[in-house]
Structure 1
Amino acid sequence: MSLHFSVLASGSTGNAILVSDGEHSLLVDAGLSGKQMEALFQQVNRNIPDLSGILVTHEHSDHIKGLGVLARKYKLPIFANEKTWNAMDGLIGNINTEQKFHFEIGQTKSFGQLEVESFGVSHDAAEPMFYVFHQGSKKLTLITDTGYVSDRMKGTIKNSDMYVFESNHDVEMLRMGRYPWSIKRRILSDVGHVSNEDAALAMADVIGDQTKRIYLAHLSQDNNMKEIARMSVAQVLQQKDINVEDNILLCDTDPKRPTDIVYV
């Protein structure tokens, strides 16, 4: 049994990440339609009924679009904090009481040998949070949908083997793009999304001897490109004397295609 994952989809059109240790499998967010989620599972040869539950990060539609459908169809437990549960009321349909579980910020829940630690992020949602997965000495961090990465967050996610890390936008592309200023201001704010450069600066503070791969996630389809994100992050990391060619692999995610199953 070893820790592994696939970023099934990542971007403003929908987000979902599958994490498993072989005994227990967990889905983090279900931000695409039920049919799309089923197709993504088929592409990575995994079965939705095998899930031990769905972990919710926050109530925005690109993270919960298919949540209610999947939970009802497959009788899956859902884990979210109280404020997120309240915010999802009316958005995901009726969920049976026995499928509703509370998972608050700062808690750690155990699924067999797989431990899941939650931590708060800075985003314009009720009480957004993301997750660190621990199995033995292995550590996988998922962190997107945050306007900045605080010292508290860095302390929690430091020296992970692998990261799924937000690299949402190129600042100049965003500033020059077609979005109304109100949306640009929201994205650039402390409760929006981190840019390529700010993500890289945070990465430089948390990368440790264990770190092998970083998956750049939640890229804006209008204000970023995979090549620009990789180049921008690599440039900042190299300036910080972190060798991305020999020591750390920067990897893409996609809004429609899952990554290969990756063993941590």
Structure 2
Amino acid sequence: MRFSVLASGSTGNAIYIENDQHAFLVDVGLSARKMEQQFTMIGRDLKKLNGIFITHEHSDHIKGLGAVARKYGVPIYANRKTWEAMDGHVGEIPVDQRFQFDMETVRSFGSMDVQSFAVSHDAVDPMFYIFHENGRKLVLITDTGYVSDRMKGWIKGADSFVFESNHDVSMLQMGRYPWSVKRRILSDVGHVSNEDAAVAMSEVVEQKETRIFLSHLSKDNNMKDLARLSVSQTLQSCGIMPGEFVHLFDTDAQKPTELVTV
């Protein structure tokens, strides 16, 4: 199983996952043209996609969904409430491309199992995904205001995480956003901070080689170096030394990561 974070941030999000038999996207938060460019950068072809999994209806996750779905005829998976919330925002998607993926269920695609789980975010019914194959586990968890014990139970022990590290609290508090937006981001249905993300990470990583890709960084209230430093320091305070078995990686709003084997 291999993956690339094609884009991650306030302006658009998309993650590519493949094995030898299947190729999937999680979210299409970029235009169809931009998605084609991202695929070219990792040496892959949108025409070979077998499915797209949607996490929730916010525009930075579905911006290009309608155009990509219609152009490439790809099956789309989302839960019922998310489908209802997307109607009117993604244009017409043929009925034979629309599939319901219920919360806290598993779908199998050959040797790959895809598991959905709930997060805490101000969308109608947000959920993220865990990919399993041959005893390896890839967790995607962004767009959540906190990481509950229930979430930790689902994601614990992954070999690779794409983990939200959205904002630095001080930058957010002193920044230009109106207080209503700051309050929303800091709430239990907003986004996790660097430090809160790291505390959650410390409780779900196991004593094995683990890659963590810091994702969904705010362009106004965070920086890559700051996120990495804050997460590293917090992990150390929790007794985990980054570089020993836990390795941190950046993601970018414009440039995809290299394809990584889970």
TM-score range, shorter chain: over 0.9
- Deviation of the 1:260 alpha carbon: 0.3
- Deviation of the 1:118 alpha carbon: 0.2
CA deviation digits over 1:54-74, x for unaligned, max 9? Answer: 000000000000000000000
Range with bigger deviation, 244-253 or 166-175: 244-253
Aligned to 1:217: 215
Pairing 1:95-110 to 2, within 5 Å after superposition: 95-110=93-108
* Amino acid in the other structure paired with 1:184: K
* Amino acid in the other structure paired with 1:92: V
Q: Return the match for 1:202 from 179, 200, 203.
A: 200
Aligned to 2:248: 250
CA contact (8 A) 1:160 1:211 kept: no
Q: Distance in 1 between matches of 2:86 and 2:31?
A: 16
Aligned in 2, Cα 1:38/1:221: closer, same or farther, shift over 3 Å? same
Q: Distance in 1 between matches of 2:125 and 2:143?
A: 12
CA deviation digits over 1:159-192, x for unaligned, max 9? Answer: 0001000000000000000000000000000000
Aligned to 2:69: 71
Q: Distance in 2 between matches of 1:73 and 1:203?
A: 38
Pairing 1:23-34 to 2, within 5 Å after superposition: 23-34=21-32
TM-score (norm: length of structure 1): 0.98
CA deviation digits over 1:215-251, x for unaligned, max 9? Answer: 0000000000000000000001111111202211100
Q: Distance in 2 between matches of 1:261 and 1:136?
A: 18
Aligned to 1:184: 182
* Amino acid in the other structure paired with 1:50: K
Aligned partner of residue 132 in structure 2, secondary structure: strand
* Amino acid in the other structure paired with 1:57: T
Say how many residue pairs are matched.
Answer: 262
CA contact (8 A) 2:17 2:23 kept: yes
Q: Distance in 2 between matches of 1:190 and 1:213?
A: 26
Q: Return the match for 2:163 from 157, 165, 168.
A: 165
Q: Distance in 1 between matches of 2:90 and 2:123?
A: 16
Following TM superposition, the consecutive aligned residue runs of length 4 or more in structure 1 with deviations greater than 6 angstroms are: none
Aligned to 1:116: 114
- Deviation of the 1:211 alpha carbon: 4.4
Gap regions ≥5 residues in structure 2: none
- Deviation of the 1:32 alpha carbon: 0.5
Q: Distance in 1 between matches of 2:169 and 2:248?
A: 20
CA contact (8 A) 1:118 1:130 kept: yes
CA deviation digits over 1:84-107, x for unaligned, max 9? Answer: 000000000001000000001101
* Amino acid in the other structure paired with 1:110: S
Q: Distance in 2 between matches of 1:246 and 1:70?
A: 41
CA contact (8 A) 2:208 2:245 kept: no
Aligned partner of residue 129 in structure 2, secondary structure: strand
- Deviation of the 1:210 alpha carbon: 3.5
CA deviation digits over 1:93-147, x for unaligned, max 9? Answer: 0010000000011010011101000000000001000000000110000000000
Aligned to 2:147: 149
CA contact (8 A) 1:160 1:210 kept: no
Aligned partner of residue 9 in structure 2, secondary structure: coil
* Amino acid in the other structure paired with 1:238: Q
What is the root-mean-square deviation of aligned Cα atoms in Å?
A: 0.6
* Amino acid in the other structure paired with 2:170: E
Q: Distance in 2 between matches of 1:23 and 1:145?
A: 29
- Deviation of the 1:209 alpha carbon: 2.3
Aligned to 1:84: 82
CA contact (8 A) 1:196 1:232 kept: yes
* Amino acid in the other structure paired with 2:126: P
Q: Distance in 2 between matches of 1:81 and 1:97?
A: 15
